[in-house]
Amino acid sequence: MPQGFLLSRVLLRFEDNSDDLVGELSAAAMTPDGSLWVGSDELLGVERLSQIEPFVFGNHQHFSLLDYMELPNTEDEIDIESLDYSNGYLWVMGSHSTKRKKPKRKDPEKDVERLSRVESEANRYLLARIPVIDGNLVKSCSLKDDPKKERSAARLEITDNTNILVESLKNDPHLGTIVSSGLPSKDNGLDIEGLAIHGDRIFLGLRGPVLRGLAVILEIDVEEKEPGVLALKPIEKDGQLYRKHFIELDGLGIRELFLHNGDLIILGGPTMDLNGAMRVFRLKKIAERTEEMIYWQDGKHLEVMFDLPIKVGADNAEGIAHFPCLGESDSVLIVYDSPAPERRLKPNELLADVYRLKS
């Protein structure tokens, strides 16, 4: 498989030098004003960076999501895994996953006990949109061209423990057994890491579960049920609230989705807690994909584009955003979780990569 063509690197400069932020980036999106938005899977908000010179983003500002919507609690992380911008909104998505306690490698007896504990944190079941005005998040606003129309922050309707999407998946013939069991993400359980918006269609890429080597993309549509609350709209004639697309990604799960020129760019990576290949794919003409089916690597619908370099235990590609660079419009910015030490020029600085989409 061809290696990706590295066009350049971009320096991200934060005010905070904590590893929870600089060392745990998991999502990226650009807004029309030129702001770069990134998210960490350890925090309760998103970060905005502005370009301060060529290939350098700074003027870091943190936006707590608690200022725009109610969350089940103010302590647990959201486990932000994806961001996207569409039609005046910044969309934010949590992993929708449960987690198993991690052994600490100090006391074998306690480690075995920790390994038996599975937790579900309500904040992780977040799919929300927040209006963006001139590079700032706002709770609500009126449209300049039509003051009677308003945009407001809203999130997908929650249940006692999860949200309406997860509850609807519990009876699914492919995913229901796994979702109902509460299997943790690191055990091939439910783990949503990709998000892309195409008009009214919302595509959600699953890192897990992977079914017989096939990754899964869920497609949904939403409507505002009441102020601040989004409901699922039926997407099929039989009233089904979601559609599934099965994708042959060489056994990889989906780490991120990105809409580009009508195609869905898929960042594939290892499932569970594995190290391995990170590969970029293209699912062509996503607007035409209106039926549940399997997309194989035959070149007609699904194209394998290129590989990213593998560094065991470091540089896990997690976020991807459109970033024209050096005269190339078909190029993307990629940010990394667990960055290699050479990416941290200073404790509060991080190097991201820019790759040409054409291999």
Is residue 307 a contact partner of residue 279, using CB atoms and an 8 Å limit? Answer: yes
Q: Give residue 146's pLDDT.
A: 67
Give the count of beta carbons closer than 10 Å to the beta carbon of residue 311: 15
Does residue 341 sit in helix, strand or coil?
helix
pLDDT per residue over 191-206, tens digit each?
Answer: 999 999 999 999 999 9
The Cα 199–Cα 84 span in angstroms is 12
CA 119 vs. chain centroid, Å, equals 21
Q: Which two tokens stand for residue 113?
A: 């006990």
Q: Topology of 5-356 in CATH?
A: Tachylectin-2; Chain A (2.115.10)
Q: H/E element holding 255?
A: strand 253-260
User: Is residue 275's pLDDT more than 90?
Assistant: no
pLDDT per residue over 318-345, tens digit each?
Answer: 999 999 999 988 999 999 999 999 999 9
Q: Collect contacts of 178-183 with beta carbons under 8 A, ≥24 apart.
A: 178/209, 182/98, 182/118, 182/120, 183/98, 183/209
Angle at 305 between CA 21 and CA 39, to 5 degrees: 15
Q: What percent of the chain has pLDDT over 90?
A: 86
Is the N-terminal amide bond of 209 cis, ω within 30° of 0?
Answer: yes
User: Is residue 148's pLDDT more than 80?
Assistant: no
Global pTM?
Answer: 0.96
Q: Give residue 299's pLDDT.
A: 72
DSSP assignments along 73-97, one per residue: -SSS---EEEEEEETTEEEEEE---
**Residue range 34-53: mean pLDDT, rounded:** 95
Is residue 21 a contact partner of residue 324, using CB atoms and an 8 Å limit? Answer: no
- String of b and e for 116-146 (b: at least 16 CB within 10 Å)? eeeeebbbbbbbbbbbbeeeebeeebeeeee
Handedness of CA 280, 285, 290, 291 (dihedral sign): negative
Q: Which two tokens stand for residue 139?
A: 């709770």
User: What is the residue extent of each domain of the chain?
Assistant: 5-356
Q: Give residue 358's pLDDT.
A: 79
Q: Give residue 72's pLDDT.
A: 92
Instruction: Label residue 346 by pLDDT band (50, 70, 90).
Output: very high
The Cα 45–Cα 210 span in angstroms is 29
Per-residue HEC secondary structure of 31-70 comes to CCCCCEEEEECCCCEEEEEEEEECCEEEEEEEEEHHHCCC
